[in-house]
A = this chain, B = another copy of it.
Amino acid sequence: MTLLDALFSPRRVALVGASDRVGSLGQVLAANLADFPGEVVPVRGGESLRDVTGPIDLAVVSVPAKAVPAVAADAAAAGVTAMVVLSGGFAETGPDGTALQDELVEASGAVRVVGPNCFGIQNCDLPLNASMATGLPDGGGGISLISQSGAYGMAIRTLAVDERTRFAKILAPGNTCDVTIAELLAELSADPATRTLCFLLESLSDGRAFVGTARRTGVTKPVIVAKTGRSAAGARAAASHTAALASSEKVWQGVFRQAGIVEVGSGQELLDVARALDGQPHPAGNRVAVITNSGGVGVELCDLLADEGLTVPALSPALQERIRAMLPAFASPVNPVDVTPVWSRFAELYPALTDLLARSGEVDVVVPVLLQRAAMDAATAEGLRATVATLRADGVEVPVAVCWVAPRDARPNADLLQESGVPCFDWPARTARALGHAHRWARTRERPLPATRPVVPVEAPPALDPEAGATFLARFGVTTARSVACADADEAVTAAGDAFPVVVKIASAAHRTELGGVRVGLSSATEVRDAASELLAHGPVLVQPQLTGVEVAVGALRDPVFGPVVMAGLGGVWIEVLADVGFALAPLDRADARELLTRLRGYALLTGARGAGSVDLDALADVIVGAGDALVAADGVSEIDLNPVLATPERAVAVDWKVA
């Protein structure tokens, strides 16, 4: 039996800690398991899993923390496939709890463990409700949700029930002592019932595996992640209740984008994006048609769509002519199509315009804005439902999403639309944001997957040795500036020859900057001699030709969450004032490295913004690739720093480098 099946589709479930005491967790769980179509075996106080006859696929455990390791040992002895431990009092409480959690892992042997300190597991289709939450959301949807915050995960589920969203599977993984979030992602990506994967994360113990699997999954199924704990206070709070290693926000962002993960800012946005994508056609481009009965909301929605990189293009004259013929006088057919407040004709106009626009070939998304009376009119909602059904039956794969601006008592019409597969979003801001993510995801998934490329292990060079470092980097295709190491001023003058201007710098990168150990623009033997004489007080110097180009900083380092990553950013003010840097997982290929560069705010400077030609982007990308490969290949290297790399239309050369 697969882990997925044991957790979500068990045949026999044992409830360890079953109880008849009203309000006890054991009693709540028994009640929640009542609709499970398989067999539930209660294991009460004084009883043991060892005494249960026949195989148990899933043990649901709610006994006090101290008793859990013994239950795990019993489960192992009884050949249980998986257990989910809802009990708290483990690693989240401090050192004693961590020791108890270690005991649990030790005792569980071959049993796979979800939790401890978790909210439980739900399979909305079966149904299976092995969780603390009363009531399951409706099944039949493709959204599966993994939430590290149990309470928040359940709150989102409630919102989704309010907004008529159907789910497949829900799980709160708690302390992830055994079954990790990456493993759950892998299991769900192979689950036919799961079309859309949602994660509410505060941390990852297996970041590298997670993003690797996410990238492969994302080609067919969107992986949407709300990562919280970005701020100092947020990270402190997250650490206090999950106890995990922290990594910089920029690293998370970089590797998530590289993996094609849809990163959202809140749990509500997570569910909005899931509704925009699940079971819906994906936008083939960024052109949106807006149909509205309020000019003002139309204008606001245009603004917010533009913020998301979507456009609301003027329709062709021919299409405008057809629309004008349908509309009342003074209505606008341009886009937004403003039908004006013709209450009596909403039920006719909204469906007809949606149909016409979706089939026009001129837009990639249609957004009917239902404001006030248009929303209160059941016939308009029913007409839109029927129109979208017909479009789908006819194979028209243009998504239709409703922007809903109406009082609460009109809600049944939104429910009708949402239940029949037409997503409705409250107010323009949520509508635009969800559609923006849908568009970006559709573009990201069009990228080819990078080929797997073996990196052969090599020995690390001596730390901070410039010549050994240059030789090491060269093996990975990173060109460094031609340098001659000199121990006295005469050697420096000879090395400079007459190819002025040259640079003389302290050879060791260790304290070069602090000592002011770089002299540039030296244009005579005398200048070289003077500079070298001064700098030699700090040790040997390097003589280099003085190169020009756009300054780029490239690095590679071992991140506590994601392992080897590369960093790239433009030099000077871009890094110092704007912190304009990006990250990606290493090893990476040239396409990923080039995409990393495009994400920089100063990217235009590389492509020739200030009158210069574009630098050789492939050569620059190859420096990034090489830095990543070098770090991956040499276990003994903890950090590579190439700063600056000077990029021109012909080449990209590291002028300063540090391998440590």
Measured between beta carbons, the chain B residues less than 8 angstroms from A231 are 302-303, 305-307, 312
Residue interface bits A325-344, CB-to-B below 8 A is 1, else 0: 00001101011101001000
Task: Compute how far the CA of A154 lies from the CA of B303 in the bound complex, rounded to whole angstroms.
Answer: 20
Measured between beta carbons, the chain B residues less than 8 angstroms from A153 are 296
Q: Whole-angstrom distance from the CB of A232 to the nearest CB of chain B?
A: 7
Q: Is A21 an interface residue (CB 8 A)?
A: no
> Which listed segment binds B: A37-45, A190-198, A401-409?
A401-409
Q: Is A311 an interface residue (CB 8 A)?
A: yes
Q: Whole-angstrom distance from the CB of A100 to the nearest CB of chain B?
A: 13
Q: Is A604 an interface residue (CB 8 A)?
A: yes
Contact of A407 among B158, B202, B269 (CB under 8 A): B158
Within 14-71 of A, Cβ neighbours of B (below 8 Å) are at: none
In the complex, the chain B residue whose C-beta lies closest to that of A311 is B233
In the complex, the chain B residue whose C-beta lies closest to that of A117 is B330
Measured between beta carbons, the chain B residues less than 8 angstroms from A175 are none
- B427 and A152 form a contact (CB under 8 A): no
- B161 and A407 form a contact (CB under 8 A): yes
> Which listed segment binds B: A104-112, A237-245, A635-643?
A237-245
Q: Is A229 an interface residue (CB 8 A)?
A: yes
Q: Is A418 an interface residue (CB 8 A)?
A: no
In the complex, the chain B residue whose C-beta lies closest to that of A312 is B233
> Which listed segment binds B: A1-9, A477-485, A571-579?
A571-579
- A148 and B202 form a contact (CB under 8 A): no
Q: Is A602 an interface residue (CB 8 A)?
A: yes
Measured between beta carbons, the chain B residues less than 8 angstroms from A158 are 372, 406-407
Q: Is A151 an interface residue (CB 8 A)?
A: yes
Task: Compute how far the CA of A305 lies from the CA of B300 in the bound complex, rounded to whole angstroms.
Answer: 24
Contact of A297 among B152, B299, B330, B604 (CB under 8 A): B152
Decide: A407 near B233, CB < 8 A? Known: A296-B151, A332-B241, A429-B269: no
- B332 and A296 form a contact (CB under 8 A): no
Measured between beta carbons, the chain B residues less than 8 angstroms from A161 are 407
Contact of A609 among B228, B303, B577 (CB under 8 A): B577
Measured between beta carbons, the chain B residues less than 8 angstroms from A297 are 149, 151-152, 155, 267
Decide: A372 near B576, CB < 8 A? Known: A234-B306, A294-B149, A303-B231: no
Contact of A162 among B305, B312, B329, B407 (CB under 8 A): B407
How many copies of this protein are present in the complex? 2
Measured between beta carbons, the chain B residues less than 8 angstroms from A93 are 329-330
Q: Is A594 an interface residue (CB 8 A)?
A: no
Measured between beta carbons, the chain B residues less than 8 angstroms from A610 are 572-573, 576-577
Measured between beta carbons, the chain B residues less than 8 angstroms from A229 are 299, 303
Q: Is A88 an interface residue (CB 8 A)?
A: yes
Q: Whole-angstrom distance from the CB of A411 to the nearest CB of chain B?
A: 8
Task: Compute how far the CA of A574 lies from the CA of B602 in the bound complex, rounded to whole angstroms.
Answer: 10
Q: Is A200 an interface residue (CB 8 A)?
A: yes
Within 597-650 of A, Cβ neighbours of B (below 8 Å) are at: 601-602, 604-605, 609-610
Count chain B CB atoms within 10 A of each CB in A267, A303, A573 and give the residue with the most.
A303
Contact of A234 among B240, B294, B300 (CB under 8 A): B300
- B334 and A237 form a contact (CB under 8 A): yes
Task: Compute how far the CA of A89 lies from the CA of B242 in the bound complex, rounded to whole angstroms.
Answer: 63
- B232 and A296 form a contact (CB under 8 A): no
Measured between beta carbons, the chain B residues less than 8 angstroms from A429 are 265-266, 268-269
- A300 and B152 form a contact (CB under 8 A): yes
Measured between beta carbons, the chain B residues less than 8 angstroms from A302 are 231, 233-234, 237
Q: Is A230 an interface residue (CB 8 A)?
A: yes
Task: Compute how far the CA of A232 lies from the CA of B605 in the bound complex, rounded to whole angstroms.
Answer: 26
Task: Compute how far the CA of A305 lies from the CA of B237 in the bound complex, rounded to whole angstroms.
Answer: 13
Within 64-111 of A, Cβ neighbours of B (below 8 Å) are at: 88-89, 92-93
Q: Whole-angstrom distance from the CB of A582 to the nearest CB of chain B?
A: 16
Contact of A295 among B241, B300, B577 (CB under 8 A): B241
Task: Compute how far the CA of A187 lies from the CA of B163 in the bound complex, rounded to whole angstroms.
Answer: 42
Q: Whole-angstrom distance from the CB of A298 to the nearest CB of chain B?
A: 5
Q: Whole-angstrom distance from the CB of A285 to the nearest CB of chain B?
A: 15
Measured between beta carbons, the chain B residues less than 8 angstroms from A406 are 155, 158
Measured between beta carbons, the chain B residues less than 8 angstroms from A88 are 330
In the complex, the chain B residue whose C-beta lies closest to that of A330 is B93
Q: Whole-angstrom distance from the CB of A304 to the nearest CB of chain B?
A: 7
Q: Is A147 an interface residue (CB 8 A)?
A: yes
Q: Whole-angstrom distance from the CB of A99 to the nearest CB of chain B?
A: 16
Known: A233-B336, A241-B338, A265-B429. 8 other contacts (CB 8 A): A149-B295, A152-B294, A234-B306, A237-B312, A238-B295, A238-B299, A573-B574, A577-B602
- 6 of the cross-chain contacts (CB-CB < 8 Å) are A151-B295, A154-B372, A233-B302, A234-B312, A237-B298, A237-B299
Which 3 residue pairs across A and B have the least CB separation, nearest first? A149-B296, A231-B306, A152-B296
